Amino acid sequence: MSEKREREVGKGDLVAIWDVPLSDGLHRVEFEHGTTSGKRVIRVDDKELLNNEWMFKLVGSESFQIGRHRCIIRISPIGSFSYEYHLEVDGKSYKKFTETQSKIMKTWMVSLPSEDYRVVLEKDTLDIWVNGEKLEVTSEFVDGGTEMHFSFGPGGIHQGCIASKSSGKRREGLIYDLLFNGSIIPEAPE
> Domain end: 90, 114, 129, which one?
90
Give burial (CB, 10 Å; 0-12/13-18/19+) of 187: middle
User: How many structural domains does the chain have?
Assistant: 2
User: Taking the CB of residue 22, how many other CB atoms lie within 10 A of it?
Assistant: 19
> Domain end: 38, 57, 90, which one?
90
Position 7 in a domain: no
Q: How far apart are CA 82 and CA 77, in angstroms?
A: 6
**Domain span at 30:** 14-90
Strand, helix or coil for residue 29: strand
Question: Which whole number is the average pLDDT over 28-45?
Answer: 91
Compute, in degrees rounded to 10, the torsion defined by CA atoms 177, 178, 184, 186: -80
| 34 & 86 share domain | yes
The CATH number linked to 59 is: 2.40.128.180
Closest CA to 139 of 150, 130, 129: 150
- Tell me the backbone φ, ψ of residue 85, rounded to 5 degrees: -125, 130
Position 150 in a domain: yes
| 78 & 120 share domain | no
| 80 & 26 share domain | yes
Digit-coded pLDDT (tens) for 51-97:
988 767 788 899 999 999 999 999 999 887 789 999 999 999 999 99
Query: pTM higher than 0.85, yes or no?
Result: no
Which is it for strands 69-79 and 82-89: parallel, antiparallel or unpaired? Answer: antiparallel
| 65 & 131 share domain | no
> Domain end: 63, 90, 117, which one?
90
Digit-coded pLDDT (tens) for 86-140:
999 999 999 999 999 988 999 999 999 889 999 999 999 999 999 999 999 999 9
Q: How far apart are CA 115 and CA 103, in angstroms?
A: 27
Q: How far apart are CA 36 and CA 20, in angstroms?
A: 28
